[in-house]
Amino acid sequence: MIDFNIPPFVGKEIQYIEQAVKNKKICGDGEFTKKCSRWMEERFQVNHCLLTTSCTHALEMAAVLSGIQPGEEVILPSYTFVSTADAFVQRGAKLVFVDIRPDTMNLDECLLEDAITEKTRVIVPVHYAGVGCAMDEILDIAKRHSLKVVEDAAQGVGAYYKGRALGTIGDFGCYSFHETKNYSMGEGGALLFQEEEFIEKAEVLREKGTDRSKFFRGQVDKYRWVDYGSSYLPSDLNAAYLWAQLEMADEIRKDRLESWNYYHERLEGLERAGCIERPFVPDYADHNAHMYYIKVKDLEERGKLIQFLKEREIHTVFHYVPLHSAPAGRKFGRFHGEDRYTTRESERLLRLPMYYQLTREKQDQVVKAIEEFYE
């Protein structure tokens, strides 16, 4: 049996959770939360990193901080997870979907400008598979039209665009530490940003609309309700789990990249034979091996391949029914321009088993089974 995903576990998680209990501080913003956010600020060269309860919640915070108002528009790919859209729907925004590039599965930056109207406020690039979007072009367009850029970097922790960490390039970046991501705390995420002007508002938003963060730092003598807010801070127990993973961040990254490269090498023959396509990584991208996918001929062939692999106890998955074709996507948004690649490419894509400490032996089994399928 080969699982599609096994949550990462490096060994020290339990010890750190125990430490959090001994600290008598299991709510938010304890020792481990601070360790994790300081570590990310240094490692990823970003002025502010706030740990959150999920990437979905980091996106919600970014949507509020972006200042988007009901009826205004956000441009995003249709090929993404629902959270990218939900966060803006919650603010009453209209979704404008644009097509993706077939090579990286990221939104096509060449289509952005045409989708902009006088109501557009935000662009949300999603760094699919931890491979960065064309950020220079996107930032240039955003600047010329005074738009905010919110990076959905859920899959991009530890990945880089021209040397800059994904999630630190736009106005706001959102990470995920869900158990299916490279580094995990069960459920969790982070909001990142460079600008000083957002820190006070972000802290208030994260702390139920109060200035409790200031109170804990001794900057005010009592905390009060100062603005709209919610509860976006994770328990320090979860942060303790994450801290063990961040300490091992380089090892986890290296291990995943080795597995990624091994698939890539072993599947070259099938690509040459014209059976499948392998993922493409542009020169500017330093990816994090978040996922390994192949593309097959079409929907029908993919269904057969999934079944074939399942019979051999190999679990593979596809995802993202394009949002614009889903009931909520139709209700809250519209597709701008032609759907040349979103539907077609999403129907061809299949994700292979990928997790920390996946063995070469298991990868050989996966590759052999795919080869058999095409014989």
Ligand X SMILES: *Cc1c(COP(=O)(O)O)cnc(C)c1O
Q: Which residues bind ligand X (CB under 6 A)?
A: 54-56, 80-81, 83-84, 126, 152, 154-155, 176, 178, 189
Cβ-contact 46, 193 below 8 angstroms: yes
Closest CA to 148 of 57, 259, 217, 63: 63
Q: Which is nearer to ligand X, 30 or 234 (CB)?
A: 234
Q: Which is nearer to ligand X, 7 or 301 (CB)?
A: 7
Burial of 82 (0-12, 13-18, 19+ CB in 10 A): middle
Q: How far is the CB of 275 from ligand X (least distance, A)?
A: 27
Q: Which is nearer to ligand X, 66 or 155 (CB)?
A: 155
Strands 189-193 and 48-52 turn out to be antiparallel
Sheet bearing 164-165, strands edge to edge? 164-165, 160-161, 285-286
**What gap in Å lies between CA 100 and CA 275, rounded to an integer?**
23
- Return the DSSP state at 181: S
Q: How far is the CB of 15 from ligand X (least distance, A)?
A: 24
- Return the DSSP state at 101: P
**What gap in Å lies between CA 234 and CA 241, rounded to an integer?**
12
Q: How far is the CB of 337 from ligand X (least distance, A)?
A: 22
Q: How far is the CB of 36 from ligand X (least distance, A)?
A: 15
In the residue annotation, 148 being an active-site residue is answered as no
> Which tokens hold the place of 2?
């080969």
List for the chain the helix, strand, coil content (%; round to 5).
Answer: 40, 15, 40
Q: Which is nearer to ligand X, 242 or 358 (CB)?
A: 242
**What gap in Å lies between CA 330 and CA 72, rounded to an integer?**
17
The count of other CB atoms within 10 Å of the CB of residue 38 is: 11
Q: Which is nearer to ligand X, 75 or 367 (CB)?
A: 75
The count of other CB atoms within 10 Å of the CB of residue 256 is: 25
Q: Which is nearer to ligand X, 161 or 373 (CB)?
A: 161
Vertex 359, ends 355 and 363: CA angle to 5°? 85
Handedness of CA 160, 162, 164, 169 (dihedral sign): negative
Q: How far is the CB of 375 from ligand X (least distance, A)?
A: 34
| Terminal-to-terminal C-alpha distance of the chain | 22
Q: How far is the CB of 368 from ligand X (least distance, A)?
A: 29
**What gap in Å lies between CA 262 and CA 271, rounded to an integer?**
14
- Among the listed residues 94, 181, 254, 310, the single catalytic one is 181
Q: Which is nearer to ligand X, 55 or 68 (CB)?
A: 55
Q: Residue 151: enclosing H or E segment and its boundaries?
A: strand 148-152
Q: How far is the CB of 216 from ligand X (least distance, A)?
A: 25
**What gap in Å lies between CA 43 and CA 40, rounded to an integer?**
5
Which of the residues are catalytic? 181
